Amino acid sequence: MPLVSVNGIDLYYEAHGSGPALVFAHGAGGNHLSWWQQVPFFSRHYTCITFDHRSFGLSRDSAEPQGRRAFADDLRGLLDHLGVQQMAIVAHSMGGRTGVGFTLRNPGRVWALVLSGSNGGSVNDESRAIRAEQLERNRAMPKGTILALSPRYIARHPERAFLYRQIMRLNPRHGPDFLAVPPNYRGSTHERLAEAGVPILYVVGEEDALAPPRTIEIAASQILQARLARMPNAGHAVYYEQPALFNREVLKFLQEVCPPALRAARP
Quick check: 145 pLDDT over 70? yes
Quick check: 43 pLDDT over 60? yes
Quick check: 185 pLDDT over 90? no
Residue 231 confidence (pLDDT): 96
Task: Give Cα separations from 24 to 136, 140, 174 (angstroms).
Answer: 30, 32, 21
Give residue 143's pLDDT band: very low, low, confident or very high (50, 70, 90).
confident
Q: Which range (149-153, 174-178, 250-254) has the least confidence?
A: 174-178
The helices-and-strands tally (H runs, E runs) of the chain is 11, 8
Strand partners, 50: 14, 24
Give residue 1's pLDDT band: very low, low, confident or very high (50, 70, 90).
low
pLDDT over 70, % of the chain = 95
Quick check: 181 pLDDT over 80? no
Mean pLDDT of 32-61: 97
Give residue 86's pLDDT band: very low, low, confident or very high (50, 70, 90).
very high
Give residue 183's pLDDT band: very low, low, confident or very high (50, 70, 90).
low
CA angle 31–33–30, rounded 5-degree value: 30
Residue 175 confidence (pLDDT): 74
Q: Is 130 helix (H, G, I), strand (E, B) or coil?
A: helix
Residues in the chain: 267
Question: What are the tens digits of pLDDT across the range 109-137?
Answer: 999 999 999 999 999 999 999 998 998 88
Residue 138 confidence (pLDDT): 86
Residue 68 CA to residue 94 CA, distance in Å, equals 9
Question: What are the tens digits of pLDDT across the range 220-235?
Answer: 999 999 999 999 999 9
Domains of the chain: 3-263 (3.40.50.1820)
Residue 142 confidence (pLDDT): 84
Give residue 169's pLDDT band: very low, low, confident or very high (50, 70, 90).
very high
Mean pLDDT score across all residues of the chain: 93
